Amino acid sequence: MTQTVPSRNPEAPTTPAATAPGHAAPASGHDTAAAARGLPAALKRRVPKYADLAPLMQFKKPEFSRAARLRRASTIWDLRDMAKRRTPQAPFDYTDGAAEAEISLRRARQAFLDIEFRPGVLRDVSSIDLSTDILGGPSRLPVGIAPTGFTRMMQSEGEYAGSQAAEAAGIPYTLSTMGTASLEDVAAAAPTGRNWFQLYLWTDRDRSLELIQRAAAAGNDTLMVTVDTAVAGARLRDVRNGMTIPPALTLKTVLDASHRPAWWFNFLTHEPLTFASLSRYTGTVADLINSMFDPTLTYADLDWLRETWKGKLVVKGIQTVDDARKVVDHGADGIVLSNHGGRQLDRAPIPFHLLPEVSAALKADHSDAAILLDTGIMSGADIIAALALGADFTLIGRAYLYGLMAGGRAGVDRALQILEKDMERTMALLGVSRVADLTPEHVRILRT
């Protein structure tokens, strides 16, 4: 007996009844009429002519240059894939990883996916303006480069590539206390850029004061103090990789280098990797943080900073509404909603989720403090969503480092180009032509 199995596709046509072998099914009147009318000329098969095929056969010469490779990257995720292929495991994982089970990082990225944009139509979006003012100065885009430590370990151009790309893009660049280029060298590399300095307060206040004075002398207009590193987070990828500064040559790293010779050639033929703002240090990242940074930091220290630093003061690592209000009361000109990219306390609050509440609280206090946001940003659409929900500005860390590892300065340029194009497209499709016109009405957070 023949059994007919129903289709899983509800739109599939009903299976015709079986007919006995050798007996054709009778033609319907519709089929006969269609045959009589004949097919349109466009639907009749014919042998293709060379003149028709020639325009279709345009084979391009393969391109293997760095520029060509970077042009093929359409997303930050594409740059991440390139970075992973070109960078040894330890420095790649240092960039890519987070603390403990990396729950905070996954949640931060998921937060940007769990939204719904609410576009307006019939708006003139022939010209998109992404420029904004942040902390008393202009930025051509509503995003800047966040402070990242050990940057020349990811790729030999390091902070020089980041600061010069930011200068060319007309956006701020933030140098980390744990950077591998000095304040003075970054200022010389990007003399017309808007350079900021990120400070970890040390137990040795005299050394902190020295860095603050150097930052002012080098022309930095903003000091960003990080307050979420009382102790080091448990970054397990680094522990498993035996991550040290500088990287140590072991059997594992030598084998890893055999697949990535360009990285090792650059690393070994440039100036040795050191912390430009610190004395020479050898050991694990966690040991450095735990031995140098101050677990006794309080609001009194923030008051000292406010008295000492005459430029704009931003506090990075804010994770509650209460702390946002308090640091502003103690003189901060801005806050960075950040859980350190998920690299400190796992299961920490997600900055994007915290954003609407903090924005509403500061508005209720009639505060004009700037709200910056980082953690989890991987596209221009993420940036636009953050701005719509109340951020004044955003910062990227991993997103630009993937570009750096993929192609040095050109890779950072490409990362910023991708984000800019994303932002322009998202704004146009939302029906918004200026950053200032974004409102919470343009985004809805989907509740799961």
Would you name the residues annotated as active-site residues? 340
Which tokens hold the place of 206? 């005299």
Which letter, b or e, does each residue of 6-18 get, where b requires 16 or more Cβ atoms within 10 Å of its Cβ?
eeeeeeeeeeeee
Among the listed residues 282, 354, 345, 333, the one whose alpha carbon sits nearest the alpha carbon of residue 111: 354
Among the listed residues 401, 421, 196, the one whose alpha carbon sits nearest the alpha carbon of residue 429: 421
How many other CB atoms sit within 10 Å of the CB of residue 412?
30
CA distance 369 to 393: 12
* Token pair 């933030």: residue: 174
C-alpha distances out from residue 312 to 134, 178, 368, 436, Å:
10, 21, 13, 22
CA distance 209 to 207: 5
Name the pairing type of β-strands 115-117 and 443-445. Answer: antiparallel
Among the listed residues 420, 424, 419, 427, the one whose alpha carbon sits nearest the alpha carbon of residue 398: 419
CA distance 393 to 372: 5
CA distance 159 to 150: 9
CA distance 157 to 403: 12
Those residues with Cβ within 8 angstroms of residue 66's Cβ, 6 or more apart along the chain or in another chain: 407, 408, 410
Those residues with Cβ within 8 angstroms of residue 393's Cβ, 6 or more apart along the chain or in another chain: 132, 134, 139, 142, 143, 144, 370, 371, 372, 373
